[in-house]
Amino acid sequence: FGDWVTVVGAAKSRKSAITNSIVGCLLSDGFSEVLHFSGVVNNRNILVLDTEQNAPDYYKSQLQIYKQAAIEKGIDPDNFYSFCLTDCRMDERLEFIEYAMEQIGNVGLLVIDGIVDICEDYNDQKGVRKLVDHLKVLTSKHNTLMIPVLHNARSTGSARGHLGTELINKSKAVIQVTKDKDYGYSKVKFEYLRGSQDPPEYNFTHDDNGDLILC
């Protein structure tokens, strides 16, 4: 709690899928291991904010989280809050993050997928630092683990602009997700994990039913 774990990857690399897998394992609070991720939030609240997907795709992704957490259909966990902010303005999204954190309270996990949509200019160093400092104060105040999801820059393959640099500098861990062009599976690699040895790389994909599986 209080740390940041940044997930980066190109478009359609399944970076949102791996992020949802982390949410699924934490929503189970230690009951389920999902794609090698496991952990507990000690019944603290989980807040997921999606700024990219349309409503139908967003809904399907949230159902996948429930399935990975082994939650039966028709049951809504008391500690899970998720919102689609695609149709909101940039300033409204940023305001909503702070509002939701305060109103929900005891937020152990905050996911922002994708964080570039609350940043006016990801290459504006001053604006980026102001945004990152604001989020750092917010997550420190609430002792919240934050997972920002960020696209790689197409030209360099690195985390996008000054925003990517600042997120990496502030993160406890950085997870890189890449997709194999020939076989279609995705690779998970920890760029680094501060204070610990990097976990081994592994591959995953979707099966015929749309479920995530290791490969």
Per-residue model confidence (pLDDT) at position 155: 45
pLDDT digits 0-9 by tens, 162-207: 999 999 999 999 999 999 999 999 999 998 888 888 889 999 999 9
Name the residue type at position 10: A
Mean pLDDT for the chain overall: 92
Q: How confident is the model at residue 75 (pLDDT cuts 50, 70, 90)?
A: confident
pLDDT digits 0-9 by tens, 84-114: 999 999 999 999 999 999 999 999 999 999 9
Cα–Cα dist 187/199, whole Å = 13
Cα–Cα dist 100/21, whole Å = 22
> Which three-class secondary structure state does DSSP give residue 130?
helix
Cα–Cα dist 30/69, whole Å = 9
Per-residue model confidence (pLDDT) at position 195: 83
